A and B are shown apart, each in its own frame.
Chain A
Amino acid sequence: EVQVVETGGGLIQPGGSLRLSCLASGFPVSSVYMNWVRLAPGRGLEWVSVIEKDDTTYYADSVRGRFTLSRDNSKNTVYFQMNNLRAEDTAVYYCARGVSGFSRGSRFDLWGQGTLVTVSS
């Protein structure tokens, strides 16, 4: 079955760190660009980060310098290291497969069910 499954969410104090994982099945993560999109309470979806096929990464301004995206092709998994977490990072984090290149035609055709990250003291 073609799917992505996110794990690693939880409750963390402000300033803490967390690593999310996105395990893909049915396709190689090395052949696509993989994204993280988050949904905060009372807000809309927010694109957060992408890792392209050549390992180039891009980040939203809100997380640049604090979050790092990486990929382990041997485990078919994408990792999202989140450091210096803030209350406003509280959200459900979704892993999403991208198609049509990370450019003007970019769209996400496969999403996971998400993992909840709660940043609170």
Chain B
Amino acid sequence: QSVLTQPPSASGTPGQRVTISCSGSSSNIGSNPVNWYQHLPGTAPKLFIFSDNQRPSGVPDRFSASKSGTSASLAISGLQSEDEADYYCAAWDDTSYVVFGGGTKVTVL
């Protein structure tokens, strides 16, 4: 139902690397910057990555992001327990303004 497609879940043990994918089209990811948001249920969502791969101040450098064509990805290197959250990709869409992915729940095993 969401315009951008994400896997519903991802998991790893502490210290592992976890990658979340985000698939779109030429009208959104293919031609516009991608942003990522972290959301802990019951709290305010937080801008985590902007302009494809830029981290706002305060976001640990174990988080990185990239984009290729109509897909983007968020990687967490050295997974920690505090990284458990929902992660959403988002982008401007040339026909629908701002679109989001369905979110990926990251679980630390």
Contacts and interface: CB of A to CB of B under 8 A. Distances in A.
Do the two shown chains form a genuine complex with each other? yes
Interface of A: 35, 37, 39, 43-47, 50, 58, 60-61, 94, 96, 102-109, 111-114
A88 B35 CA distance: 26
B41 to A, nearest CB: 9
17 contacts: A35-B98, A43-B2, A44-B2, A44-B6, A44-B101, A44-B102, A45-B88, A45-B103, A60-B97, A94-B44, A104-B32, A104-B33, A105-B33, A105-B51, A106-B92, A107-B50, A112-B44
B90 interface: yes
A10 B45 CA distance: 21
Interface string B44-67: 111100110000100000000000
B44 A113 contact: yes
Interface residues of B, number: 29
Chain A CB count within 10 A is highest, among B31, B37, B44, for B44
Contacts of A39: 39
Given A105-B51, A111-B45, A46 B100 contact: yes
A79 B98 CA distance: 20
Interface of B: 1-2, 6, 31-33, 35, 37, 39, 42-47, 50-51, 56, 88, 90, 92, 96-103
A113 B43 contact: yes
B96 A60 contact: yes
A47 B91 CA distance: 11
Interface centre among A45, A47, A105, A111 (most CB of B within 10 A): A45
